[in-house]
Amino acid sequence: MGGVRDARAVVTGGGGGIGAALARRLAAGGARVAVNDVDADRAREVAAEIGGFALPGDASGAVSAAREALGGIDLFCANAGVATGGGPEAADGEWAAAWDVNVMAHVRAARELLPEWLERGEGRFVATVSAAGLLSMVGAAPYSVTKHAALAFAEWLSLTYRHRGIAVHAVCPQGVRTDMLRATGAAGDLVLAPGAIEPEQVADAVLAGIAEDRFLILPHPEVAGYSAVRATDPDRWLAGMNRLQQTLEDRP
């Protein structure tokens, strides 16, 4: 299928950070964009800036609202996410929220989108996953686990439907200078902040990945090397990650 020009596009979590950068980049590329965000004011601000449509509210209603606003959906960016920290001690509600936003929102969107896309033989699903989905993140078990699941779901969509015209992309950046990074505290400062990039760089990588029909989009190219070590020498990789964990614990 083609690129983004004239595409009817939806971006969840589009009121700031990567989502806002994606919405701007898609609009600049000729797409008609619906901006979804739980922060209604931010959704309206970005939509007004790009000449798009604001869809305030959580991501669960984005598909039906966007169909009404755009007359259909060609490109869906499942970008909304939550960065829940902690380990097994994190409350069940925190685990449930991470699972709902980071995984089930993608599942629900696909459930609504696929019948129409399969009938017409094309559609494009972009999942903002994070490098944590390929690797992991110290100090953040709910985030790491649910991002692994988000990547697995994107892989499943691609392997199941690519021969029927459905294109799927998994976007896996490391640190990005957003409110989410600032909320990660000491772990984010240690692991993510030193190599953090701007949201606009992620958006540029996404558009390049769409143009090249690449499943895996790595705004930080070095993630490919880390992932290869994780796959081929897991003990070496885990030892390195454990050293990061010890460094984190030794911080005042």
- Residue 158 belongs to some domain of the structure: yes
- Residue 197 belongs to some domain of the structure: yes
Query: Among residues 76, 125, 143, 153, which one is catalytic?
Result: 143
- Residue 243 belongs to some domain of the structure: no
What is the rounded average pLDDT for all residues in the chain? Answer: 94
How far apart CA 123 and CA 173 sit, in angstroms, is 23
C-alpha of 105 from chain center: 11
- Residue 239 belongs to some domain of the structure: no
H helix or E strand, kind and range, residue 156: helix 141-161
Specify whether 143 is catalytic. Answer: yes
- Residue 99 belongs to some domain of the structure: yes
- Residue 244 belongs to some domain of the structure: no
Number of structural domains in the chain:
1
* pLDDT on residue 182: 65
Query: pLDDT tens for residues 4-59?
Result: 999 999 999 999 999 999 999 999 999 999 999 999 999 999 999 999 999 999 99
* pLDDT on residue 248: 87
Sequence-distant (≥ 6) Cβ neighbours of residue 90 within 8 angstroms = 84, 141, 142
- Residue 232 belongs to some domain of the structure: no
Question: With bands split at pLDDT 50, 70 and 90, how would you rate the model's confidence at 181?
Answer: low
Range of the domain at 209: 8-222
Question: What is the CATH number for 31?
Answer: 3.40.50.720
- Residue 118 belongs to some domain of the structure: yes
